[in-house]
A and B are shown apart, each in its own frame.
Chain A
Amino acid sequence: MAIDSLVLGAGQEVGKSCVVVSINGKRIMFDCGMHMGYTDSRRYPDFSLISNTGDFDNALTCVVVTHFHLDHIGALPYFTEVCGYKGPIYMTYPTKALAPLMLEDYRKNMDRRGEDEQFTSDHITECMKKVIPVDLKQTVQVDKDLQIRAYYAGHVIGAAMFYAKVGDAAMVYTGDYNMTPDRHLGAAQIDRLQLDLVITESTYATTIRDSRYGREREFLKAVHTCIAAGGKVLIPTFALGRAQELCILLEDYWERMNLKVPIYFSAVRNFDRSLINAPGPCVLFATPGMIVGGFSLEVFMQWAPSEMNLVTLPGYCVAGTIGHKLMSGKPTKIDLDKDTQIDVRCQIHQLSFSPHTDAKGIMDLVKFLSPKHAILVHGEKPKMATLKERIQSELGIPCYCPANNETVTVPSTHYVKADASETFIRSCLNPNFKFSTYSSVDKSYLDSKYSKAASGLQVSDERVAEGILVVEKGKKAKVIHQDELLLMLGDKKHEVQFAYCFPMHTERLQKTRTEELPSADTLLCDLDKCTLINQLSMKLSNELSDANILDLGEQLQVESFRVSICSKNSCPHRLSHSVHNDSESVFLCCHWSLRDEKLAWKIISIMKSSSPHTT
């Protein structure tokens, strides 16, 4: 059994997240995103790798979308309406409610940019009709075998990590997540699960971020300085997510500082374009983020040439976008296309307000979930390699970071099913302690000081060992308790017992005996027997400190080993040649069962050594 993960997008890059995972015959597509940096066929995942014939309905069990960002959902209308996938699609309620707004916003921007339309407004509506909303933590039975469940991811409103389980194999696809709470979202939450695989994002694979307050202060300071000087502040964001966070932050600050400078938000209503060049300072949130085009580009072209103005880039910018160019260095000129060139003189402020987890967060999550394997996606190749090394060395979890269109195969858990009997289960509920002393010699010899400390009592509580697994042809495997085995086999138990009778010579006893009752060891009185046994018991307890010796008057018992004085003249267990002088010695008759064989011989040798006249 294995889990195959085909990475169609976001493999060693950020953009067009799409992973197709096959578990036990089920195929799930996680996310269906588009790449913001490309305008050609590379912007969509290569769906032909899922099915050559284009029969996606049979090739996929379901599609799961983690959140409404375009690099996670952008290709969905294309996949359902143009490629013709008709199967179930799952996303959380907020994602379903907000996704069409994001897609529509993007489509309009593409329109304005004059690109060929990949999907229409109707496509978006039709596509969203196929979406089945799920609640967080709700266990959704996709079909008889496949179960999925969403967990709060804290990346944007409605963002979720998804857990999928088929049979005994289980995995988690995190999507984008954030491990630290911020002003409007909490930190990601997930249960401790038994997982074979975790596919996690790794946008900030090596970054450890400083405190939120520091970053916020820095951002507010930059904005305040700019507007105080009469400049305009452009914040290119996507309509939802960071925009809300920054709005809350700015509003708070405005109130505290009693600022009256207007804050505009262009995504909500059609923005009055005359305000762009209205005199005086202002703050403008413009969509789309990363300045990929549309209104934010329009405003950027107008504001960029002035030194007074400020462009703040919150969060991550995908390679190929203007945002990315601005962030990677301080360009003075940006070529938009062959004919247009933008003069960039404005200030650029970069914020790490991205709601992605940092390296510590990724490590924490992977450690918490401790899956058997991990796959990194949605990050930059060199950083991912570093993180991969850390996960492998620090957590001991095999980790992979496949490139696009590569497949990673990991083994999956499989359990053998059996029926367990009531007796077995009950016996496992009861403690079954066994005490034994350490055999702790080898290591402690090195340091003689600790040799004593190392030896001690060892407690083992092995309960399962009383169980026996029985497999019969054509029947389900059965686990029974050992006591039930014979009943099941229809056979009787037999015991293997050993017996040994040997003479023992004790002079002192001999003397007393001969004085009082000459030549009659058949007449040995009970008292004498007891004294002998008593002496033996003392002797044994000196030698065997950890054994539980029971003195039962006429006999001694250690585990199953029993010894008593043999009063018969011819004991069958006595071997004739050892008998030399009956009158002088007593015979000790020993019985024990097979399991205490070693112990028995040890005791016998002790007893023999105690009498000077052993054979």
Chain B
Amino acid sequence: MKFTCLSKGGGFHFSPCHMLNVSGFRILLDCPLDLSSLALFSPVPVAHQAHESLDTDSVIRKKQKIEKTLDANDLVHAEPWYKTVKNLHLWDASFIDVVLISSPMGMLGLPFLTRTRDFSAKIYVTEASARIGQLLMEDLVSMHMELRQFYGPEDSCFPQWMRWEELEVLPSELRKIALGKDCEELGAWMPLYSAVDVKDCMRKVQTLKYAEEACYNGTLIVKAFSSGLEIGTCNWTINGPKKNIAYISSSIFVSMHAMDFDFLGLRGNDLIIYSDFSSLDKNMENDDTYFDPVTSSSGRDDVSNLEEMAASLLKDDESAEEIEKLVFICACALDSVRVGGSVLVPIDRLGVVLCLLEQMSLLLESSSLKVPIYIISSVAEELLAFTNIIPEWVCKQRQEKLFSGEPLFAHVKLIKERKIHVFPAVHSPELLTNWQEPCVVFCPNWSLRLGPVVHLLRHWCSDPNSLLVLESGVDADIALLPFKPMAMKVLQCSFLSGLSLQKVQPLLKILQPKLVLFPKDLSCKIQISEANMIFLFSENETLRIPSSKESTDIDIATDLASKFRWKTFKQETITRLEGELFMDHGKHRLLSGFQPANSKQQRPLVHWGSPDVKVLLTELSKMGISGTIKQVTDDAKSEDDAKSENAAAIIDIHDPEKALIDVRETDHIKISIQIIHGREFILYT
């Protein structure tokens, strides 16, 4: 098995991406887009100004490479391109056999792959991820179209800003975005796919339910298990004839919206690929969360303990903390609204938005403020409707709502009561007639470069009473550059987006893998003291993992096995196999198959051991063949040896016909015969 980490990603919106070689199949794990690099580009309104202010002064300054504080003019004024996984384009897409997508974010780059000419891989995505991912892609395309209308179609396939001269004069922060740390990422930039590409991509996707078995090529069985991060996100198990692999992406044990992390489903796998990099992005905010020596010291491995451990993993207070965060955001929003400011929430985490909607409307209602909540997105209506018909993908408490006849998420009721208004775009006529400030607006995109957020931010950026709620992980300095000077308040908050490091140890203990693939970057923060073999991986480095099993399991049908003719030796019993070998669902099966009539005659015979001449002679005489040992042609050594019966000899046969049996040291028996009638020899070993 071979494993290559193509990219460790960055944050919730940019999942890690890996390439895996199992049983001769090449598997790509996730195919995300790095939307944070959109920060390089200037959103539309500034572009207009920029052209006017492109005076000689700034050009000279740029050429002289004088470092100064960034301003909006430094951004690239062009139709944005999109950055894919940096190393993926180095691989030949046509050699990929399987693509496993673990989250809606992880499929944003998929159309780039599916539109390549020889791409033929099978793509597995959970049903919910596929739907949400499709909507995200469609939204991305429509937001991009809006920008395109301003910039006009690109003339050449190689845009101006990608020329080396242009790149060289970019300020260092922006150059890092464009080229990466080692100036190797320029090849990852792509012009966005079209709506047709998205449609085409979705046609090639095979959707799965959680824990549904999908069999690839009769050999690999892949199954998705809930990861708890977001609705539809999953971890994967890949079972081949010789390998059982579990791939753990960013996971959350107890979620407020999505189905919980189903870690028990991942049990029984030899190898775990741990790919939850979320603790890297936490900016070391909780440095003291090294793994707790107390929990690791209580290392009893009996079953009850494992169950206890599993329960303790689930009941932790992370979700309570998340609710507190939401309440805090709502409280801040309320403060802004009270003083007449509006609240802009460009958060693109579906689960968080849905919970925030519930909290926010609850709070607004209790405060008896008549403030409308707007959701502006081309796909919002569909997305909101979709989230209410998928009880199989949401958390337990929300499933209970289904069984008691309530909607899964409160937004259905709120939309009906006209407390939440959903509009497809900023310029939609319904919005213009309904618009009322102060208000709370949820809209894409978190990069602050695309979508309705750009217009609204321009509108409110100078209002000191208004509030902008940002996700952490966004480089606020660069992201807000086009909107400076900002009078608006900015609240940046981090949401739980993966496993915390102190839970890794107990989790691995429950899963009991033989091997763990662990990110090198995280390994310094945690000690995995277990007997598990650990391989550390880092970006763009191929690891070869030795096979844990030497042999393959094979199932032999009982009716076939009962037909075998056995031969017994001192210790072992052997038989030659019959039937046909099938490969079905990752299992080798030997079933009785079609037997040609003459198959018995063609059986190759194998003889081994050295025959004992005397025994041979007596056996022959029993059959009516008599002869004498004519000559023992031996070297001196074996003449001394008393037990030299096994040595070379020639037996003369006189009756019934003349023949000669020549037994030699080199394990050959030569039989010279004139005519042999009874040719059935039993050769003893």
Give the B-binding residues of A (Cβ under 8 A). 93, 96-97, 100, 128, 133, 135-141, 149, 168, 194, 413-422, 425, 428, 434, 436, 439, 458, 460, 462-473, 478-479, 482, 485-486, 489, 491-501, 572-573, 575, 577-578, 594-595, 597
Contacts and interface: CB of A to CB of B under 8 A. Distances in A.
A470 B674 CA distance: 38
Contact of A493 (B399, B552, B608): B608
B671 interface: yes
B608 A460 contact: no
Contacts of A137: 208-209, 212-213
B609 A128 contact: no
B391 A420 contact: no
Contacts of B636: none
Contacts of B564: 469
B554 A418 contact: yes
A464 B579 contact: yes
Contacts of B608: 485-486, 489, 491-494
A497 B672 CA distance: 9
Contacts of A485: 574, 606, 608
B561 interface: yes
B670 to A, nearest CB: 5
Given A97-B405, A428-B581, 18 more contacts: A128-B403, A135-B392, A137-B209, A140-B211, A149-B213, A415-B555, A421-B551, A425-B552, A439-B597, A465-B599, A468-B574, A469-B556, A469-B575, A470-B573, A473-B572, A575-B659, A577-B658, A595-B604
Interface in B563-612: 564, 569, 571-581, 584, 588-590, 596-599, 602-611
A497 B681 CA distance: 13
B672 A501 contact: yes
A460 B578 CA distance: 13
8 contacts: A93-B392, A420-B553, A420-B554, A425-B552, A492-B608, A494-B608, A496-B671, A573-B672
Nearest to A589: B672
B59 to A, nearest CB: 61
Contacts of B683: 496
A493 B574 contact: no
A149 B555 CA distance: 23
Contacts of A462: 596, 599, 602
Contacts of B685: 491
Contacts of A470: 572-574
A421 B662 CA distance: 36
Contacts of B569: 489
A322 to B, nearest CB: 31
A143 B600 CA distance: 45
B596 A498 contact: no
3 nearest A-B pairs in the assembled complex, by CB-CB distance: A415-B555, A573-B672, A494-B667
Contact of B391 (A93, A413, A578): A93
B77 to A, nearest CB: 49
B383 interface: no
Interface residues of B, number: 71
B402 interface: yes
B643 interface: no
Contacts of A458: 596
Contact of B596 (A421, A460, A573, A594): A460
Interface string B208-250: 1111110000000001000000000000000000000000000
B558 A415 contact: yes
A412 to B, nearest CB: 10
Contact of B672 (A434, A482, A575): A575
A497 B671 contact: yes
B285 interface: no
A495 B672 contact: no
Given A128-B403, A572-B672, A493 B209 contact: no
How would you classify the secondary structure of chain B's contact residues: helix, strand, loop or mixed? mixed
B572 A472 contact: yes
Contacts of A97: 391, 402-403, 405
B79 to A, nearest CB: 42
B665 to A, nearest CB: 11
Contact of A578 (B604, B662, B674): B674
A479 B577 contact: yes
B679 interface: yes
B428 to A, nearest CB: 31
A464 B575 contact: no
A465 B609 contact: no
Given A460-B596, A465-B577, A471-B573, A139 B223 contact: yes
B598 A497 contact: no
Interface string B361-401: 00000000000000000000000000000011000000100
A497 B588 contact: no
Nearest to A428: B581
Interface in B659-685: 659-660, 662, 667-674, 679, 681, 683, 685
B551 A478 contact: yes
Contacts of B660: 572-573
A241 B555 CA distance: 44
B557 interface: yes
Contacts of B658: 575, 577
A125 B590 CA distance: 50
B550 interface: yes
A416 to B, nearest CB: 4
A464 B577 contact: yes
Contacts of B572: 470-473, 489
A339 B236 CA distance: 67
Interface string B534-565: 00000000000000001111111110010010
A238 to B, nearest CB: 18
A221 B192 CA distance: 56
Contact of B555 (A168, A478, A492, A493): A168
A135 B265 CA distance: 15
Given A460-B599, A495-B669, A415 B556 contact: yes
A140 B575 CA distance: 39
A149 B599 CA distance: 41
A501 B673 CA distance: 9
Given A414-B558, A420-B552, A482-B604, A469 B577 contact: yes
Nearest to A458: B596
A494 B666 CA distance: 8
Nearest to A459: B596
Contacts of B554: 417-420, 479
Contacts of A96: 403
A128 B404 CA distance: 11
Contact of B550 (A141, A417, A422): A422
Nearest to A472: B572
A68 B665 CA distance: 80
Contact of B602 (A434, A463, A473): A434
A497 B577 contact: no
Contacts of B605: 594-595
B188 to A, nearest CB: 36
A594 B670 CA distance: 10
Contact of A492 (B210, B575, B589, B609): B609
A498 B607 contact: no
Contact of B551 (A100, A128, A419, A500): A419
Contacts of B575: 468-469
A464 B599 contact: no
Given A467-B577, A573-B660, A597 B679 contact: yes
A467 B580 CA distance: 11
Given A491-B609, A572-B662, A467 B403 contact: no
Contacts of A463: 581
B393 to A, nearest CB: 9
A346 to B, nearest CB: 36
Contacts of A128: 403
A231 to B, nearest CB: 35
A498 B556 contact: no
A469 B608 CA distance: 17
Query: Which of B212, B558, B572 has most A Cβ within 10 Å?
Result: B572
A500 to B, nearest CB: 6
